[in-house]
Each structure stands twice: as structure tokens, then as C-alpha cells.
């Protein structure tokens, strides 16, 4: 056993007993104390590994001294009582007071050394067990803390599936950083225009202008900017006074930024496709209106043509009496007029048939467009974005 660091208080009102214990235990770091009161004072200055405590002392006796030591919270200090009275009641009282062992005076040198070594060994085992428990508890606490922090990132990534606008995505980004006690501002670039969220002043806007396209992660003191094309997240209060936490937070914010960028790209594509589909539906609706107008124009024109032909026939009939045409000539002329009228009607009917086919085609295209729009909305609720982006290295700002 290595005794270099083992500290022992030898508490006894008898000077000879104190000197004898010091001589026997010379391989240990012994402190000689002559009263219970002095022991209570000294233990606050130097916590020993073991106290050899005489029971029968004037003033504060050994039993009361032991009780006060335990009451003050020194649970891990081993206490061995010394007494000329080795009766069972006194031994039991010593254990109830908080003692660990008992040596009867006058003590045997070998017994004293053996009991001191035994008590010290037990204490070292207990100390090791206590340290193991502390380490295990600390590891479990760290694991729970890390799990909780990871849960924030996972929850953010899951919640982005519900985002259907740039505003809702920005709100999710702000909320996730708040759970890490971080204050942020956001810049999004949409179709060449800049959208700002949680912006405090124009100075922050100038920072966004400066850092665009300057690297994935930018650090300056307690400020960090997570940069992606079209998305910048400005963190104002990184925990630089806690290096371990700072390292974890830096990793988590990078993951949030990566997830937000992936969702932003998907959202841009979704909104663009949605706009294109709506434009197509609007075009089809306008085309259908135009076809109906053309159809009505056909009908109106047919009525006009019929009236013109009817008037022409009436005028020719009246002219027959003046033109002095033979019956055969009149019959041939009527046939020519009727054939011309029929051809006009055929042309009109053909136009109406083409118009009907065109109208059916428009209805078919509109139906397909509406079905695709419905399928898109249903798929949008189930879409999972698994894109992984390659992370660039850190760069320093200023």
C-alpha cells in the first residue's frame, strides 16, 4: 500500500498516546490533535483519510466529536475509536455515533497497524466506487444532454416537412436555435430578391452583404454565420466561454443549416412547379373561353350567311319574271344556288366539328393538369428530403 498521501488525525488528550501513535504510523502523514474541539476546527482546514479518535477526553468526548463530524457532512472520513473500555455497549454506541472500527487501549502495535491498513484499504475501495458512480452519472448526464441536443436537430429536420412557405421555414429555423439559447438573424435569396427574418438593424444586413459566398462557416468571436447559396444564418451569441459546448453547438447549427438549405431548395422547386401548374390551368381556362367565343362566332356567322342566302334566293325568284329565262335555265340557277348554300353549310359544320374536337382536347388536358396538381399536393405531404450536402471548411471573418 502506498502511504505517501494518506492523512491521519491522531486525536487524544494524552500526549504520550499521541506521540506513540505518531511513531508507530510514521509512514503516514499524521496530525496530532489533543481535543475534540481542535479536531472539529482542523478538519475544515485539512480533511483526513482516517481519524484515530479517543473516546474519553475532557470537554467534547470522542462520541460527540464523531457525531458532529458526521453532521458536518464528512461522510467519507473513516473514524476508528480508541478506548480503555472495550465493553459491548460502548462499542455499539460508537457504531451508532458513526464510527467505523474500535481499538481497545492499551493497543498492540501490530493490531493498530493492521486495523489502520484495513480501514484505509476499505476507504480507498469506497472512494473508488464513489468516483466510479460520479463518472457514470456524469457520463449518463452527458449522454442525456447530447441526446436532448440531437433531438432538437432531428425535430427541426422533421418539422421542415410541414413547411410550405419561406416564412414558415424561417420560423422553424429561429425556433430550433432558440432551444439552444441562440439568437439569430436570417437572409434568404429568392429569385434575386433578399428576404430578412429576425433582423435587428441595418448593420446586420450589411454583414449579410459582406459574407455572401465567402465560405460555409464563418466565425468571429461569439458570432458565427452558417452560409449556403441563397441562405445565411447569423448567430449572435455562440457560447465561446465553454469550449466543449461551443464545439457541440457548432456541429448542431451546421446540421440545422444544411437541413434548412435542403428544404429551401426543395421549397423553391415546389413553389415554382406549383406556379407553373397554376399558369397552365389558367391558360387552359382562358383557351376554353376563347373556344366558346369562337363557337358562338361560328353560330352567329351561320345565321348571317343563312339570312344572306335567303335574301339572295328571294331576289332571284323575283328576278326570274324580268330576266325572261327558260324553265330549264331557272332550274339550273336554283341548283347552283342550293349547291353553294350547301357548301357554305358544310364548311360551317366542319368548323363546328373541329371546334368540338378542340374543346374535348382542352377538357382532356385540363383534367390531366388537375390530376397532376392533386397528386403533387398528396405527395408533398409525404416527401422526405434526404439530400446530403458536402460541408466546406471553416473560414475566419475579418
In tens, the pLDDT along 177-213 reads: 998 889 999 999 998 899 999 888 778 888 888 888 7
* pLDDT score of 220 more than 60: yes
Distances (CA, A) of 70 to 67, 75, 78, 85, 99: 5, 6, 10, 23, 9
pLDDT confidence bin for 33, thresholds 50/70/90 = very high
Residues 6+ apart with CB under 8 A from 220: 396, 397, 398
* pLDDT score of 382 more than 60: no
How large is the average pLDDT for residues 23-41? Answer: 92
Look at 6-15, 60-69, 357-366 and tell me which has the smallest mean pLDDT. 357-366
218 - beta bridge partners? 225, 395
DSSP letter at 181? T
Q: Which of 90, 75, 58 is nearest to 103 (CA)?
A: 90
E-state strands within the chain: 7-11, 29-33, 50-54, 78-83, 101-104, 184-190, 193-197, 217-220, 223-228, 231-235, 394-396
* pLDDT score of 285 more than 80: no
Query: Tens digit of pLDDT for each residue in 75-128?
Result: 888 899 998 887 888 888 888 898 888 888 888 888 888 888 888 888 888 778
What is the DSSP code string of 88-149? Answer: HHHHHHHHHHT-SEEEESSPPHHHHHHHHHHHHHHHHHHHHHHHHHHHHHHHHHHHHHHHHH
Which strands form 78-83's sheet, in the order they lie side by side? 29-33, 7-11, 50-54, 78-83, 101-104
- Predicted local confidence at residue 141, as pLDDT: 52
| φ, ψ (nearest 5 deg) of residue 275 | -65, -40
- Predicted local confidence at residue 139, as pLDDT: 57
- Average pLDDT of the chain is 79
Most confident of 133-147, 249-263, 319-333, 341-355: 249-263
- Predicted local confidence at residue 3, as pLDDT: 47
pLDDT confidence bin for 11, thresholds 50/70/90 = very high
How large is the average pLDDT for residues 24-52? Answer: 92
Look at 53-62, 152-161, 314-323 and tell me which has the smallest mean pLDDT. 314-323
Answer with the residue of higher pLDDT: 382 or 65.
65
Question: What grid cell was written down for 307?
Answer: 339570312
Answer with the residue of higher pLDDT: 274 or 348.
274
Q: What angle do CA 145, 126, 29 make, to 5 degrees?
A: 120
User: What's the pTM?
Assistant: 0.46
Amino acid at each position: 500500500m502506498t502511504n505517501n498521501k494518506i492523512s491521519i488525525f491522531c486525536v487524544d488528550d494524552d500526549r504520550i498516546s499521541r506521540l506513540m501513535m505518531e511513531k508507530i504510523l510514521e509512514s503516514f502523514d499524521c496530525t496530532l490533535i489533543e481535543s475534540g474541539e481542535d479536531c472539529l476546527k482542523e478538519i475544515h482546514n485539512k480533511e483526513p483519510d482516517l481519524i484515530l479518535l479517543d473516546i474519553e477526553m475532557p470537554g467534547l468526548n470522542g462520541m460527540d466529536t464523531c457525531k458532529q463530524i458526521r453532521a458536518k457532512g464528512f461522510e467519507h472520513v473513516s473514524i476508528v475509536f480508541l478506548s480503555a473500555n472495550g465493553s459491548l455497549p460502548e462499542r455499539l454506541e460508537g457504531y451508532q455515533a458513526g464510527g467505523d472500527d474500535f481499538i481497545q487501549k492499551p493497543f498492540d502495535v501490530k493490531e493498530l497497524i493492521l486495523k489502520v491498513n484495513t480501514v484505509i484499504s476499505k476507504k480507498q475501495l469506497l472512494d473508488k466506487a464513489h468516483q466510479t458512480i460520479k463518472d457514470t452519472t456524469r457520463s449518463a448526464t452527458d449522454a442525456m444532454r447530447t441526446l436532448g441536443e440531437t433531438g432538437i436537430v432531428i425535430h427541426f429536420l422533421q418539422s421542415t416537412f410541414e413547411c410550405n412557405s419561406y416564412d414558415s421555414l424561417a420560423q422553424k429555423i429561429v425556433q430550433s436555435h432558440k432551444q439552444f439559447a441562440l439568437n439569430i438573424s436570417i437572409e434568404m435569396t429568392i429569385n434575386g430578391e433578399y428576404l430578412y427574418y429576425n433582423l435587428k438593424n441595418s448593420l446586420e444586413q450589411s454583414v449579410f452583404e459582406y459574407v455572401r459566398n465567402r465560405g460555409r462557416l464563418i466565425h468571429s468571436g461569439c458570432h458565427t454565420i452558417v452560409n449556403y447559396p441563397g441562405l445565411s444564418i447569423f448567430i449572435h451569441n455562440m457560447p465561446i466561454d465553454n469550449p466543449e459546448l461551443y464545439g457541440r453547438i457548432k456541429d448542431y447549427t451546421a446540421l440545422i443549416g444544411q437541413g434548412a438549405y435542403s428544404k429551401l431548395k426543395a421549397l423553391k422547386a415546389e413553389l415554382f412547379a406549383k406556379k407553373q401548374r397554376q399558369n397552365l390551368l389558367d391558360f387552359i381556362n382562358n383557351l376554353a373561353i376563347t373556344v366558346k367565343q369562337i363557337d358562338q362566332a361560328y353560330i352567329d356567322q351561320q345565321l348571317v350567311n343563312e339570312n344572306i342566302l335567303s335574301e339572295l334566293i328571294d331576289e332571284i325568284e323575283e328576278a326570274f319574271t324580268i330576266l325572261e329565262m327558260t324553265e330549264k335555265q331557272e332550274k339550273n340557277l336554283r341548283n347552283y344556288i342550293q349547291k353553294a348554300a350547301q357548301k357554305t353549310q358544310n364548311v360551317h359544320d366542319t368548323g363546328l366539328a373541329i371546334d368540338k374536337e378542340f374543346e374535348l382536347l382542352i377538357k382532356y388536358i385540363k383534367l390531366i393538369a388537375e390530376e397532376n396538381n392533386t397528386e403533387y399536393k398528396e405527395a408533398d405531404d409525404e416527401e422526405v428530403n434526404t439530400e446530403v450536402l458536402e460541408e466546406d471548411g471553416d473560414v475566419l471573418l475579418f
